[in-house]
Structure 1
Amino acid sequence: MPGISRKINGCAAATGALLLTLTGCAGTGPAAADVDLGPGPAVAGKVKKGALEGVTLTFASYGGIYQDGQEAAGVKPFAADSGARVLSDGPTDYTKLKAQVDAKNVTWDVVDTDSIWAEHQCDKRLMPLDTTVVDTSKLPKDMVGKCSVPAMTYGMVLMYDTSKFGDNPPKSWADFFDTAKFPGKRAVPGVPSDPSPGPLEAALIADEVAPDKLFPLDVDRALKKLSSVRSSLVFWDTGARSQQLLESGEVSMAMVWTGRAYSAVQNGAKFAPQWNQFMPIADSLAVPKGAKNPKAAMALINYYLGAGQQAKLSELTSYSPVNSDAEPKVDPAAAEYLTSTPERQAQALKLDNTWWAENQEQIVSKWSDWLAR
């Protein structure tokens, strides 16, 4: 959950910090075939002591508090245990990553990306996971792709104004669209170039489409339903703006990222979450095609996925862990917004990232045209 992460703070600047050294080139060191990670099956969170002496890797992510947390929880400890030098870069830039792969001059070894983008780029600009090195047994199965694993998880949740609806709170996305029973403005994400899970699914559920019949999404039907409440909608294009809408009281309900929701409440917003059919979201970790030492890169991913590493990441960033054995020590208020607990997972709406990866580009024009009306 992005409580104090890049999506809470709007952090997009790279940290620019080098973790262990200011020298060396990405992916240098022993050839992949020379890397000995030890006998036996891979175990998430473990690496053979000193196995990567002489290897240099570059970890790229989104900067800010989120990447700081990733480095402290997983990347720096991996470097200390494995003996690798690990450099930090960012923010993740898909154009830059494509250029590296296409030019066969890859300088990023492990990259944090959007999960839909990762799904779409599998076998194109991202290489398949090496499951002899990456242990995925403790991860949510529906978040593990052929070429990527979840880096953390959070969600899109319905927030409502408790001062207006405290005695009769909304219970579903259908209530979000019921402006007669629940009057007031509603906030929804509205980035023209980036349609993503959230508004379309909610609109279809409100239009009585069964949750298990959502995909393939009927985009025209969803936009028609959204149009029926268009005069009540307020669009946000950044996490900071969504949080501001809650804190200012400009809206009565909002569809927002869980971390932004948590931060708004911590800052005094009189809002509460309605968890029924919240939409789980995750960033992904992947290795670009053409990485110079893919086995070492996979070992970094495997280490990052450990229960202890994931717990620490949650404690530092408020994102939810993806390892089922992780037990982050967070205060009760933050714990309420963790999306990885069995209780929350039982309330989650099942999304289809494969469908989104295959269709997102085609949805852009319809979504952009609808927003511009």
Structure 2
Amino acid sequence: MSATTSRRRMKALPLGLMATAALLLTACGGSGGAASAEVDLGGGPATAGTVKAGALDGMNMTFASWGGIYQDGQMAAAVTPFGEESGARVLSDGPMEYAKVQAQVESNNVTWDVVDTDSNWALGQCGKLLQKLDYTIIDKSSIPEGLASDCSVPAVQYANVVVYNKDKFSDGPKTWADFFDTKKFPGKRAVQGNDAGAGIFEGALIADGVAPEDLYPLDIDRALRKLDTIKGSLVYWMTGAQSQQMLEAQEVDMAVIWSGRAFGAVENGAPFEPAWDTGVVNMDVLSVPAGAKNPKASMALINYYLGKEQQEKLSVETSYSPAHVDAKPQVNENGRKFLVTEPEIAERTLVSDFAWWGENYAGVLEKFTAWVAK
């Protein structure tokens, strides 16, 4: 089966309509709070990328994400303009820590109004630490099919992909089998060591002979046995910034890395090339913590973030791929090499089974953490 036919998608939900009545919103404590106020988000169908001018005047909100260039891009492309148009005062906080989300929800003191998280974690927390989204306020009609769920919408699309030092290897590694071939391609390989998600596990199974269409449910024990064969060549990165620095300093010969961080390294002169036949597409998502003090305002921010113009600017700012089907970001040549929505890249990649990961993420993380520590 081709990579295209093995791309897995979840069924999308129908589009709702914008609430027509005025909504009573209470202010968030993230920026010190504000008095309760009635706000009118407007009538008619929701339209992504828009918010009624002044609808949230005087309201305090907090947007939490992963920091660095990514969060700076989110603020510039969507969050800050949303505040300017809606009248809300939106603070930026981070980096994201799931333990902080849990602590806020369990203490009934939620100070983050919208959070950017990994899709695997979010799907596992729907109806628990995260509340269901209101699709009468959020227009998801332009989200790629299968990427919206009850509790999350995509913030960006990206891939975990093998990149290699082209000064050392003029022709590869190109496949997952190559990544695991330390004789043909000797050298240090970097993988994330403090999290578990789509990418290296699918890659290990493909290198061990599993066909892409037969990957799920993943046999994690088999994947770890395959990883055992290259463990002596592995080094671990713990943050996106560290992974990028490893490439820029040429501390490793290849790495499984977020596509946006790989782009950043290449932009800074690192001689690395992506091997797109190894790409496993994933996404960050936007969600609203359970118990958020202004859930309707949170939905309005998410709706604004999903606009075509906002998504295009976000891609230019970060190199991550847009979550709007009509977005055509004007990125440079290097940036286009890392956009997973480019047709010539998309047809070669595998899309993560988000539903499987949502159900199994915690167990995989426990096993992987123990494996790394051995």
Give your verdict on TM over 0.5.
yes
Partner of 2:299: 298
- The structure-2 alpha-carbon separation of the partners of 1:62 and 1:368, relative to structure 1 and needing over 3 Å to count, comes to closer
Which residue among 53, 65, 68 is the counterpart of 1:49? 53
Distance 1:245 1:79 in 2: 36
**Letter of the 1:233 counterpart:** L
Deviations 1:212-249 (A, max 9, x none): 21111111111111112223323322333333433344
Distance 1:90 1:251 in 2: 28
- The structure-2 alpha-carbon separation of the partners of 1:216 and 1:185, relative to structure 1 and needing over 3 Å to count, comes to same
Distance 1:103 1:268 in 2: 46
Larger mean CA deviation between 235-244 and 168-177 belongs to: 235-244
- CA contact under 8 A between 2:306 and 2:324: conserved in structure 1? yes
3-state DSSP class of the match of 2:244? helix
**Letter of the 2:265 counterpart:** A
Larger mean CA deviation between 273-282 and 94-103 belongs to: 94-103
Partner of 2:182: 179
- 1:151 paired with 2:180, answer no
Distance 1:27 1:220 in 2: 51
Once the two structures are TM-superposed, the CA of residue 180 in structure 1 deviates from its matched residue by 3.0
Deviations 1:127-160 (A, max 9, x none): 1111111111211233322101111222211112
Structure with the largest fraction of helix = 1
- The structure-2 alpha-carbon separation of the partners of 1:343 and 1:223, relative to structure 1 and needing over 3 Å to count, comes to same
Distance 1:151 1:102 in 2: 25
Unpaired segments ≥5 residues, structure 1? 1-21
Identity level (%): 56
Distance 2:31 2:258 in 1: 38
Q: TM-score, normalised by structure 1?
A: 0.85
Distance 1:345 1:365 in 2: 31
- CA contact under 8 A between 2:121 and 2:361: conserved in structure 1? no
**Letter of the 1:201 counterpart:** E
Partner of 1:272: 273
Residues 71-90 of structure 1: pairs in structure 2 closer than 5 A: 71-90=75-94
Partner of 1:11: none
- CA contact under 8 A between 1:46 and 1:302: conserved in structure 2? yes
- CA contact under 8 A between 2:202 and 2:215: conserved in structure 1? yes
**Letter of the 1:359 counterpart:** N
Once the two structures are TM-superposed, the CA of residue 265 in structure 1 deviates from its matched residue by 2.3
Once the two structures are TM-superposed, the CA of residue 336 in structure 1 deviates from its matched residue by 1.5
Distance 1:77 1:161 in 2: 39
3-state DSSP class of the match of 1:256? strand
Once the two structures are TM-superposed, the CA of residue 259 in structure 1 deviates from its matched residue by 2.3
Q: TM-score, normalised by structure 2?
A: 0.85
Distance 1:249 1:23 in 2: 41
Residues 93-132 of structure 1: pairs in structure 2 closer than 5 A: 93-132=97-136
- CA contact under 8 A between 2:46 and 2:138: conserved in structure 1? yes
- 1:285 paired with 2:289, answer no
- The structure-2 alpha-carbon separation of the partners of 1:236 and 1:97, relative to structure 1 and needing over 3 Å to count, comes to closer
- Aligned CA RMSD, in angstroms, stands at 2.3
- 1:36 paired with 2:30, answer no
Once the two structures are TM-superposed, the CA of residue 326 in structure 1 deviates from its matched residue by 1.9
Once the two structures are TM-superposed, the CA of residue 250 in structure 1 deviates from its matched residue by 4.0
- The structure-2 alpha-carbon separation of the partners of 1:343 and 1:36, relative to structure 1 and needing over 3 Å to count, comes to farther
Once the two structures are TM-superposed, the CA of residue 207 in structure 1 deviates from its matched residue by 0.8
Partner of 1:357: 358
Distance 1:294 1:372 in 2: 40
- 1:66 paired with 2:70, answer yes
Residues 15-30 of structure 1: pairs in structure 2 closer than 5 A: 25-26=32-33, 29-30=36-37
Distance 1:256 1:24 in 2: 34
**Letter of the 2:204 counterpart:** A
- The structure-2 alpha-carbon separation of the partners of 1:129 and 1:183, relative to structure 1 and needing over 3 Å to count, comes to same
- The structure-2 alpha-carbon separation of the partners of 1:349 and 1:56, relative to structure 1 and needing over 3 Å to count, comes to same
- The structure-2 alpha-carbon separation of the partners of 1:165 and 1:65, relative to structure 1 and needing over 3 Å to count, comes to closer
- CA contact under 8 A between 1:108 and 1:288: conserved in structure 2? yes
Once the two structures are TM-superposed, the CA of residue 204 in structure 1 deviates from its matched residue by 0.1
- CA contact under 8 A between 2:112 and 2:289: conserved in structure 1? yes
Unpaired segments ≥5 residues, structure 2? 1-28
Distance 1:77 1:108 in 2: 18
Residues 313-352 of structure 1: pairs in structure 2 closer than 5 A: 313-352=314-353
- CA contact under 8 A between 2:31 and 2:62: conserved in structure 1? no
Partner of 2:222: 221
Distance 1:228 1:95 in 2: 33
- The structure-2 alpha-carbon separation of the partners of 1:54 and 1:369, relative to structure 1 and needing over 3 Å to count, comes to closer
- CA contact under 8 A between 2:30 and 2:61: conserved in structure 1? no
